[in-house]
Structure 1
Amino acid sequence: MSFFNGKWPAEATLKVRPAAIRALTCVLSLFLGVATSVAAQDAVTSPSAGTPAPSIAPAILPGPSASPAPPTSSSTPSVPPVTDATKSDASPAVEEADTDAASTLWSYRGVKVDAVQFEGVSFDPKDRILEMFAVHEGKPLDPIQVRAMIRRLYATGLYRSIDVRAVKHGSGAGQTVTLIFGGTPRLFVGRVTILGVKTERLSSLLEYSTQLQPGTAFTAAMVATGEQGIRQTLSTNGYYEPVIQSKTRTDEIGKQMDVTYTVTLGPQARVGGVALTGTDIGMTPEEFRKRGKLKYKSKVTRDTTSNALTKLRARYQKQDHLEATVALEKQEYAAPRKQLDYTFGVNQGPTVKVIIKGTKISSARQKKLLPIYEESAVDNDLLNEGAHNIREFLQRQGYFDADVNPHVDGVGTPAQTVVFDVTEGKKYRVIAVDITGNKYFDTDTMRERMQVVKADAYVRNGRYSQSLLENDVASIQSIYRANGFSRVKVSTETLQAGTKGKLALMRVNVKIDEGEQQKFGSAKLSGVDPSREKEVRAMMNTVEDQPFSLSTVSGDRDSILQYYLAKGFEQAKVEVKQALRADDPTQTDLTFVITEGDEVFVDKILLSGVNHTRKSVVNRPLLLKPGDPLDQSALVEMQRKYYDLALFNEANVAVQNPEGTADRKNVLVQLTEARRWDVTYGAGFEAQTGTPQTNCRAQESIGGTTCTPEGRAGASFRVSADVTRINLRGTDNSLQLHTTYGLLERVASITLNTPHLLNHTNFTGSLTGGYSNVQNISTFKASTLQAIARVTQKIPRADTLIYDFTYRRVSVDQDSLQVTANLIPLLSQPVRVGGPGITWYHDTRGPSPLDAQKGMYLSVQDFFSNSKFGSQVNFNRTDIAYSTYYTWGKRRKYTFARNTRFGFEVASGANPNAGTSACAGILLTTNASCNPIPLPERLYAGGASSHRGFAVNSAGPRDLTTGYPVGGSAVFINSFELRLPPPVLPIVGDSVSFVLFHDMGNAFLHINDIWPSFGRFKQPNRQTCFDVTPSQTGTCDFAYFSHAVGVGARYNTPVGPIRVDFSYNINPPVYPIIDDYSLPQANHAVGHGSHFQFFFSIGQSF
């Protein structure tokens, strides 16, 4: 060890190594000194606040005092001891310390320190540690302070080892020394990459199995440990011969180590031999393989063993071997065969029959109630638990005095019987649940929190059990204590209340003794910097003399802590102390004791994993920049924003050196780009009455009455496939090809999506072009070739504006068209439609738009088609929908939903249908088929989300010779729906609810027909619709309000309710059928709209 070189006049250096520590322990323990070096092993991570620090190494400088060094606080980082067992594998050869070096450095005690310098680890000029160490300049050297300085440096987490040098200048009275703190900088885990694995799921599993957490301290041993984790994970997935190569790359700028594992999976193991041990297996090895899905030479996956055990245990249970044991004893990989051989320990045990005497409980319910099925064992604890569950079940059915006694017959024999003797007792009905003594909370508030309820239309006998009542007592006590009633007492009693037929009546009394309410006293802040006290106080909701609430206290504590975390005080702590006032025990004084800690700032943003995405897109979610306070909430928000881009499979935002006390830290943003090509597909169907029929005109040649204007009952199936390309040209734009094929719908479209139009977060854009061939009405099949340019503006809170320009070519298949014969050539002509449109909607529905219970929805759409935009027809269409939702009921929630739709179209210019015989004279305005607006562009009504008294799009005007619906120029539909609380039903429980609804309205030929129709309950001039002679064509009128009532069922699922609706149309229309194209010859008839309709779909009707 050298103390002098040509750089300094005199230099004293002490590097303490593990061997030196051992050699000097006996000598140095006699003296007071200061630790001057740390050779910390790699396995020791940087200590943090709240973590016990390693003990001080016995490498202290000898001093004149024999008194021991003062003990260090557990929260203060210190130098860890080094032994042979903890030597760092990266440490150089051990150098023996020279005791003269210690003496020389101690000899400088009291010498003026002219400068403190750092080597090996660099600090920002604004770093607090430089200011802290600078105070020692110009003061006498104090070895005790040197030790504290080393501790401080080590606590930053930036050092792997530390040494200190003292360099002397001058002599005599003018002698000074320069303290130089040198050391080896610590590296941190950077990006962990798995190469060679094509499956994203497996790649993510392997990355997780390395246990390398980005930002934490790195050691060389971690690489090998990570490789072991990868091998273990691969073996569980069937890969026993992987080749794994690891490579590290040092990022000097980011002070981190990137680790890359290149994995060659090798062959996937196949199922080999299956050996069974046990004296009572109960099945042949072949059957064991079959039941466990252990087919010879099938691929081994991570689920092979668990699935086999599950299936085999289920098989034994089905055969009443409830105590059967099946366990994997051993599995060995046979490399020459590339197979995995299994050895299972199997014992089927005795047959165990379960008999419940005295009541009827289904086998499916038994398996839910009795834990012996789940645990595959029979013991007293499980039997007692099963008896308790049966008793609880019966009490909920009204048998509140039920008694259950279990016992086992035939113990020790091959056939055992578990018997539950049940005495049901009387069946009770809870006629009242009385709550008394509550003053602070009203009774309805108490009832909302209780599970014990009296009988009503939804729970016929009420709900009661001893455990439910105990839970209710705890719930009531909890709400009172949360509001300051710490001495609240709740007592209950159940009383007989006579009988009613075979039922015994019962009352439940709940008595509440509230006690005195605590109130807030003073709220003090301790430990807050005066510059921040005003901001902290503004976040608090604690107000003196207000009712004491633990939730308010907890909320204030969390708000204060969140404030400090957002300001970069990552070690901040908030404790709340409570004290009753001596002069007023009902007042509780609070003191928020805040430990701020040091403010931490962002040093660098280290971004990785970006290969195709543009820098501008990647930088958009960044909420922090170098020099900003390290806001913890911003880290979470950044991660969310990266996922919202839909460009990355994984977004990991972490802090480097999280446990260190350095006041400047790097932020790691590690991204994994998603596959740019994606294919999705699916299938579905809708079932309903009035399903449109196809190819009706072809029936004329083959005969048969298979088509009607009302459609037919049936299901419409469809399949869909989408191909999506994301990360288009390095942006968050995407290109999607959408296709649908079904009996009634064939669609192909391609869409370019721009989620952030012109870098605005509130604007999205799309450009769509495609072709569709759809028959959503029995009258015709329409094909559309169109292009749409659309801009969507999201206004904060609940409003959205959509601006679009549509240009399309619509045409009607002549062979599908069911209208007056001489109008077929005109109405089947292709028509160009084009123009701008705007949509505004306001949506406050909650909790979900699919199942709204409150709020409102208002949408206004307007489309303007004009020849100035290249359109061949001129019209303006306005469509307005307004829905509201109201919920009431304290315990049973009733929802009243209402929806109104009003739409109209105004055409301009010449009517292209004028001049035909079907539109001659007054027929031009009375025959709906003569409407100048093309058939696919008209307004329609009817169906599951419209007027449920009609089949899909079959409401309103009809062709006066065929009777098929042809739409109109106006529509008005109003729906009322009462959504009832779910009753408790067998099997499904409370998953099914019911609705009652009333729909009224119609589609109309002219907008002026709407208002007079409000008072028309019957179809006007109804008798004329029975005249089917061609001379009377044009006299049947459809301008009236049709009314339908019905009932529906809703089955709740995670994606929304599955809906079934049955409706009855009180006043359906009648219409003449003069021409029936499905028949080979004329057969005049009178058509009648169906009274009954049925719909099956997903989601509420509106």
Structure 2
Amino acid sequence: MIRYILMSAALCLAWAGAGEGENFQGMPVADISFSPPAQPIPPPRLQELIPLQAGKPLDATDIEHAIRALFVTGRYADIQVDAVRVGDGVKVTFITVENWFVGSVKVLDVKEPPSAGQLANATKLQLGELYSEEKISAAKESLLRLLAENGFFQATLGVETAARSDTQQIDIVFRVEPGRRAHFGEIRLAGKPDLTPLELRNITGWQEDRLFTQPALQAGLERVRRRYQKRSYLRTAIRVAGQRYLPGPNRVDLDLEINPGPRTEVVLSGASLSPKKLRSYLPIFQEGTIDRDLVAEGAENLRDYFQSQGFFEAKLDYDLGPEESGRILIEYQAVLGKRHNFATLEVSGNHFFDLATMRERMYLQPSGVQVRHGRFSQSLLRSDIQTIEELYRSNGFQAVKVRSRTEDDYQGREGDVAVFLSIEEGPQTLISQLKVAGNRSIPAKSFADKLSSIEGQPFSENNVASDRDEILSTYFQAGFPDATLEWRSKPGSQPNTVELEYAIKEGERQFVNQVFVGGYENTRPAVVRRQITVYSGDPLSQTAMLETQRRLYNLGIFSKVDMAVQNPEGQEEYRNVLFQVEEARRWTVGLGGGAEIARFGGSDTNLDSPAGATGFSPRVTLDVSRLNLLGTSNTLSFRSRFSTLQKRGLLSYDQPQWRGRERLTLTFISLYDTSRNVRTFTAQRLEGALQLQHKVSKPSSLFYRYSYRRVSVDEGTLKITPGLIPLLSQPVRVGLLSA
């Protein structure tokens, strides 16, 4: 409302000043133009928004409607109208200032922590949203606050922006000069701690030479909290009451307030459990706090445990005492009764479903090999009754009732328990008529085969909810992001039938204007284009956008893929779709070292002492991987191991989406290996393999592979008879073709 008032005021001023007091009302429109000529809205759609037409009389109301229509698109920051007499007519010029939107956002030159993701989130700048200087100022303040929380109190920020007229976006780079990270300084304790500052440092790890970061601060606080919780102080309050940065020594002094609160004592009477097991069933110890709901939940957990152990009549009560003398006493009183055996479960009255269908959904289980006393408790019984009723309701039995009866000392056997479930199915409600209303753009046959609630089928609200999701999914894929569905039912003309109606409100349909992908520098554009499943002119489909995002991630060369619709607050029929990618590191290098220490048998001249003496063999590993090879999704990897006993090199080349087909992956592998089998012989192995993987479905793949292997043994190193050489190390030359 405020925007329209300001807009109307601007319109009056612009109109009054444009013609220097002349009245153009009713004069024929000679020409309509825009300044600048290049507008963010394509000319055909621009003409649809403006009610003015050349040759027709000029009306100030049409001017106001035109400005309003342009403003609500969200594409313009300012619009003025200039009117000039041209002969017997008037030339109308719309002078516009376009809006800009947020493009890529980068925060550079900061060493973790904080992480790159935390820095980006701190800016609160979203891809595609409206750009403003106020948002940039707020982002700078948020970044400086995050940097200070991680010890960079002397940080300064510079902002670089680059406007991209082709996308109407501004790329933003925050360059940080972090300065030196501060250290932990003095620690002053307040409250009622039972720790000295030195003990606190040892627990938290906040030594004076340690760098001050938010993860280190929070980890230290958590360690202190766990220390008190282990000693049963569950109401401990720990907080940083003050934090002071001293620029001179570049340190952060902390004021830490610790109030342990009362000590919690838990007593279980009437039953026996180890302290460790008792704690595992009490949520007050998992949550680290005390309230009556958690104490009551603990009683329910203990009751269910004892009932699962055969004490089916077990009852648990609790008493939460007041705080006295620095302690809180929680007493659980258990009345177990005698131990039972869940002997049998009988179900009657089930005509529509067989027993196996219901049993596979139930938790109750009579005693047997797997469960000694059976699985039974009152909560499990209630849960199974609810499950059976839901099963029937989902198949049209709206009036179903399940009653239970428990019999002790079943068939005269002391301690045996039998459970009897009696089902009153009631009538099955069927759908006599399904009416779909409001679907003006999409015919019902487009989603009819996906519906569960059709004529002659059982009526259930679960099926209706499923139908709602299917119909709305169809609309969302067709470019109706605001589509809604309401349903109503009424009794049918025949008994036990209902007439069902789905009322659809489609909302405005939206289409794709252009698709922009940014952020890649080393990747070939063609590689990115092949992953796009959203095209200009298509309905704006969230499903297609998510599929594009998935395909870009699956290339394995992007560490981040953001997706958005540009100008989300504007009212446009045609939308720009944005994908902002971040390329992963192309080079990965791993270097490792170690040694093998063992007893190496024999010597260079004899095998009289097979146990040998202790030997030492150093080992070095080097792994190198190159992603995004030649600007594609291909990967080249080299893995090696060097030691006095073995020299191995493995070179592999992976080409996913071979020949542009997403389901095909081509792999080349070559291997060179020279190994000393202690002091008995030295073998050399050469291998090569070519493999094509065809992903048929998510769980299934076909492999077509050709491999070649050549193994040789250096006879000069042979200390044993050839027959003792292991099978895989014996000299051979073999080729294998498999599928």
TM-score tier by shorter-chain length is 0.7 to 0.9
Q: Which residue of 1 aligns with 2:415?
A: 504
Q: Which residue of 1 aligns with 2:615?
A: none
- 2: CA distance between counterparts of 1:101 and 1:635? 47
Q: Residue 464 of structure 2 aligns to which amino acid in structure 1? A: V
Q: Which residue of 1 aligns with 2:69?
A: 152
Q: Which residue of 2 aligns with 1:486?
A: 398
Contact kept in structure 1, 2:533 and 2:544, CA below 8 Å: yes
Over 3 Å counting, the alpha-carbon distance change for 1:542 and 1:371 in structure 2 is closer
Corresponding residue to 2:545 among 602, 625, 635: 635
Q: Would you say 1:676 and 2:586 are equivalent positions?
A: yes
Q: Which residue of 1 aligns with 2:704?
A: 802
- 1:209-224 mapped onto 2 (5 Å cutoff): 209-224=122-137
Contact kept in structure 1, 2:51 and 2:66, CA below 8 Å: no
Q: Residue 477 of structure 2 aligns to which amino acid in structure 1? A: A
Percent of counterpart pairs with the same letter? 28
Q: Which has the larger radius of gyration?
A: 1
Q: Secondary structure at the match of 1:427?
A: coil
Q: Which residue of 2 aligns with 1:659?
A: 569
Q: Which residue of 1 aligns with 2:616?
A: none
Over 3 Å counting, the alpha-carbon distance change for 1:273 and 1:247 in structure 2 is same
The one-character-per-residue Cα deviations of 1:370-421 (angstroms, maximum 9, x if unpaired) are 2332454445444333223222222222222223333467842145543323
Q: Which residue of 1 aligns with 2:673?
A: 772
Q: Which residue of 2 aligns with 1:733?
A: 634
Q: Secondary structure at the match of 2:582?
A: strand
- 1: CA distance between counterparts of 2:351 and 2:723? 77
- 1:1013-1052 mapped onto 2 (5 Å cutoff): none
Over 3 Å counting, the alpha-carbon distance change for 1:531 and 1:770 in structure 2 is closer
Q: Residue 643 of structure 1 aligns to which amino acid in structure 2? A: Y
Question: 5+ unaligned residues in a row in structure 1: which ranges?
Answer: 1-53, 60-78, 83-93, 685-691, 707-717, 841-1102
Contact kept in structure 1, 2:125 and 2:139, CA below 8 Å: yes
- 1: CA distance between counterparts of 2:643 and 2:409? 63
Q: CA deviation at 1:218?
A: 1.2
Q: CA deviation at 1:654?
A: 2.0
Contact kept in structure 2, 1:773 and 1:781, CA below 8 Å: no
- 2: CA distance between counterparts of 1:494 and 1:509? 6
Corresponding residue to 2:652 among 746, 751, 754: 751
- 1: CA distance between counterparts of 2:334 and 2:585? 60
The one-character-per-residue Cα deviations of 1:62-101 (angstroms, maximum 9, x if unpaired) are xxxxxxxxxxxxxxxxx6x99xxxxxxxxxxx99948967
Higher relative contact order (CA closer than 8 Å, sequence separation 6+): 2
The one-character-per-residue Cα deviations of 1:961-1012 (angstroms, maximum 9, x if unpaired) are xxxxxxxxxxxxxxxxxxxxxxxxxxxxxxxxxxxxxxxxxxxxxxxxxxxx
Over 3 Å counting, the alpha-carbon distance change for 1:452 and 1:440 in structure 2 is same
Q: CA deviation at 1:216?
A: 1.0
Q: Would you say 1:131 and 2:48 are equivalent positions?
A: yes
Contact kept in structure 2, 1:697 and 1:816, CA below 8 Å: no
- 1:701-712 mapped onto 2 (5 Å cutoff): 701-703=607-609
Q: Residue 674 of structure 1 aligns to which amino acid in structure 2? A: A
Contact kept in structure 2, 1:604 and 1:666, CA below 8 Å: yes
- 1: CA distance between counterparts of 2:442 and 2:52? 25
Q: Which residue of 1 aligns with 2:471?
A: 560
- 1: CA distance between counterparts of 2:644 and 2:496? 74
Q: CA deviation at 1:368?
A: 2.6
Contact kept in structure 2, 1:780 and 1:812, CA below 8 Å: no
Over 3 Å counting, the alpha-carbon distance change for 1:238 and 1:803 in structure 2 is same
- 1: CA distance between counterparts of 2:629 and 2:592? 25
The one-character-per-residue Cα deviations of 1:632-673 (angstroms, maximum 9, x if unpaired) are 222111111111111111112322113323233222221111
Q: Would you say 1:788 and 2:688 are equivalent positions?
A: yes
Q: CA deviation at 1:223?
A: 0.8
Q: Which residue of 2 aligns with 1:601?
A: 511
Q: Residue 74 of structure 2 aligns to which amino acid in structure 1? A: G
Corresponding residue to 1:446 among 358, 361, 370: 358
Contact kept in structure 2, 1:403 and 1:424, CA below 8 Å: yes
Q: Which residue of 1 aligns with 2:309?
A: 397
Normalising by structure 2, what TM-score? 0.86
- 2: CA distance between counterparts of 1:826 and 1:362? 54
Q: Residue 683 of structure 2 aligns to which amino acid in structure 1? A: S
Q: Residue 270 of structure 1 aligns to which amino acid in structure 2? A: H
Q: Which residue of 2 aligns with 1:282?
A: 194
Q: Residue 311 of structure 2 aligns to which amino acid in structure 1? A: Y
Q: Which residue of 2 aligns with 1:248?
A: 161
Q: Which residue of 2 aligns with 1:384?
A: 296
Q: Residue 462 of structure 1 aligns to which amino acid in structure 2? A: G
Q: CA deviation at 1:535?
A: 3.4
Contact kept in structure 1, 2:52 and 2:58, CA below 8 Å: no
Q: Secondary structure at the match of 2:331?
A: strand
- 2: CA distance between counterparts of 1:823 and 1:314? 63
Q: Would you say 1:304 and 2:216 are equivalent positions?
A: yes
Q: Which residue of 1 aligns with 2:625?
A: 724
More helix by share: 2
Q: Would you say 1:456 and 2:368 are equivalent positions?
A: yes
Contact kept in structure 1, 2:15 and 2:81, CA below 8 Å: no
Q: Secondary structure at the match of 1:722?
A: strand
Q: CA deviation at 1:132?
A: 5.3
- 1: CA distance between counterparts of 2:650 and 2:466? 51
- 1: CA distance between counterparts of 2:620 and 2:391? 52
Q: Would you say 1:647 and 2:557 are equivalent positions?
A: yes
Corresponding residue to 1:192 among 82, 105, 126: 105
Over 3 Å counting, the alpha-carbon distance change for 1:556 and 1:781 in structure 2 is farther
Over 3 Å counting, the alpha-carbon distance change for 1:477 and 1:792 in structure 2 is same
Contact kept in structure 1, 2:30 and 2:86, CA below 8 Å: no
The one-character-per-residue Cα deviations of 1:1006-1061 (angstroms, maximum 9, x if unpaired) are xxxxxxxxxxxxxxxxxxxxxxxxxxxxxxxxxxxxxxxxxxxxxxxxxxxxxxxx
Q: Which residue of 2 aligns with 1:338?
A: 250
Question: 5+ unaligned residues in a row in structure 2: which ranges?
Answer: 613-618
- 1: CA distance between counterparts of 2:399 and 2:357? 20
Q: Residue 654 of structure 1 aligns to which amino acid in structure 2? A: A
Normalising by structure 1, what TM-score? 0.59
Q: CA deviation at 1:350?
A: 3.9
Corresponding residue to 2:424 among 493, 499, 513: 513
Q: Which residue of 1 aligns with 2:496?
A: 586
Q: Would you say 1:833 and 2:739 are equivalent positions?
A: no
- 2: CA distance between counterparts of 1:683 and 1:507? 65
Corresponding residue to 2:268 among 356, 359, 362: 356
Over 3 Å counting, the alpha-carbon distance change for 1:753 and 1:408 in structure 2 is closer
Over 3 Å counting, the alpha-carbon distance change for 1:583 and 1:531 in structure 2 is closer
Q: CA deviation at 1:789?
A: 4.1
The one-character-per-residue Cα deviations of 1:1-43 (angstroms, maximum 9, x if unpaired) are xxxxxxxxxxxxxxxxxxxxxxxxxxxxxxxxxxxxxxxxxxx
- 1: CA distance between counterparts of 2:532 and 2:728? 56
- 1:679-694 mapped onto 2 (5 Å cutoff): 679=589
- 2: CA distance between counterparts of 1:828 and 1:603? 62
Q: Secondary structure at the match of 1:469?
A: helix
Q: Which residue of 1 aligns with 2:520?
A: 610
- 2: CA distance between counterparts of 1:753 and 1:452? 51
Q: Residue 688 of structure 2 aligns to which amino acid in structure 1? A: I
Over 3 Å counting, the alpha-carbon distance change for 1:146 and 1:516 in structure 2 is farther
Q: CA deviation at 1:616?
A: 2.3
User: What CA RMSD, in Å, does the superposition of the two structures yield over aligned residues?
Assistant: 4.1
- 1: CA distance between counterparts of 2:212 and 2:626? 33
Q: CA deviation at 1:337?
A: 1.7
Over 3 Å counting, the alpha-carbon distance change for 1:141 and 1:535 in structure 2 is farther
Over 3 Å counting, the alpha-carbon distance change for 1:813 and 1:447 in structure 2 is farther
Q: Secondary structure at the match of 2:358?
A: helix
Contact kept in structure 1, 2:657 and 2:663, CA below 8 Å: yes
- 2: CA distance between counterparts of 1:444 and 1:779? 65
- 2: CA distance between counterparts of 1:534 and 1:179? 49
